[in-house]
A = this chain, B = another copy of it.
Amino acid sequence: MTITVVGSVAYDTIETPAGKRDRCLGGAATYFSLSASYFTDVRVIAVVGEDFGKRQEAVFEAHKIDTRGIEHTAGKSFFWEGSYLENLNEAKTHNTELNVFAAFNPKIPDAYRDSEFLFLANIDPVLQRRVREQMPDVKLVAGDTMNYWIKDHRTALLEVLKGLDILLINDTEAKMLAGNNNLVQAARVVRSLGPKTLVVKHGEFGATLFGDPAKTFRAPALPLEEVVDPTGAGDSFAGGFFGYLASQPEVTPAAYRNAMFYGSVMGSFACERFGTERMQKLTRKEIDERFNLFRELTHLA
């Protein structure tokens, strides 16, 4: 099955204890699509500025990602600057420039309309909804969001949730969205808002799936010797998770479990290099070897 993803394609300036990178290729849709491309065909909807050229385009092409839905417009691409100097688990944002994203009105290329899977990466819920409405016939819809939309754009976000099968967020976001500090109770509240399946990401402690058709399931994260850059780990998790699901003939409970592992696998790779460096240069063999490592890490003899 083919996935269409809408989200940001951007430039990031990132500082971590391991070093600094200026204006590297980033954005949720970039991480997601690179990660998912190891499993299935991916099509991107986004907007970029004049600073996005052949070299950036080539990164997507190398992974056979369809970029016909990336709109090129006058101005500069979305830009984010952040650091993780004190805490590798939480970015400190120094600067966010929406730039061309401020006036983004996503349009779905006709060639994308037969996509069976849709991923709404973390952007303004008004835009997420507009994309969802243009693709009424998809089989499975997953999405992401963040504290900013949960706090200040709740009404728009609640409309998006109604149209989701799967929501992927972190602990803080799940508890904030539900207004409940117990994760199990919060998961029940969130699932009553639309998404039958909720995946809660716990950073270095893995992720938990709540929902149907799979029962509650916990995937670990890999204990890493060095976290070079956690930027995009959540989007890479989502790409591995949803990409694997889309690659399966049927979305069974067993497929959901494997998808949680593949999500964790891709999230762990993302942290090993700056930006999308690691996501760009993986092999399916490396991915499956790490999948087996995750199995060894968690399974009884």
Contact = CB atoms under 8 A, between A and B. Distances in A.
Contacts of A227: 182
A74 interface: no
A185 B257 contact: no
Interface in A254-292: 254, 257-258, 261
A225 interface: yes
A300 B257 contact: yes
Contact of A202 (B205, B215, B217, B295): B205
A25 B299 CA distance: 36
Contacts of A299: 298-300
A298 B257 CA distance: 9
A58 interface: no
B182 A218 contact: no
Nearest to A301: B254
Contacts of A225: 182, 184-185
B215 A184 contact: no
A223 B184 CA distance: 6
A204 interface: yes
Contacts of A202: 205
B223 A257 contact: no
A191 to B, nearest CB: 13
A295 B300 contact: yes
A183 B224 CA distance: 8
Nearest to A218: B220
B300 A182 contact: no
A204 B217 CA distance: 14
B184 A300 contact: no
Contact of A208 (B223, B226, B296): B223
Given A202-B205, A205-B202, A205-B206, A224 B300 contact: no
A223 to B, nearest CB: 5
Contacts of A183: 204, 223
Nearest to A221: B218
Given A205-B202, A205-B205, A206-B205, A218 B185 contact: no
7 contacts: A182-B224, A183-B204, A202-B205, A205-B205, A217-B297, A218-B220, A258-B301
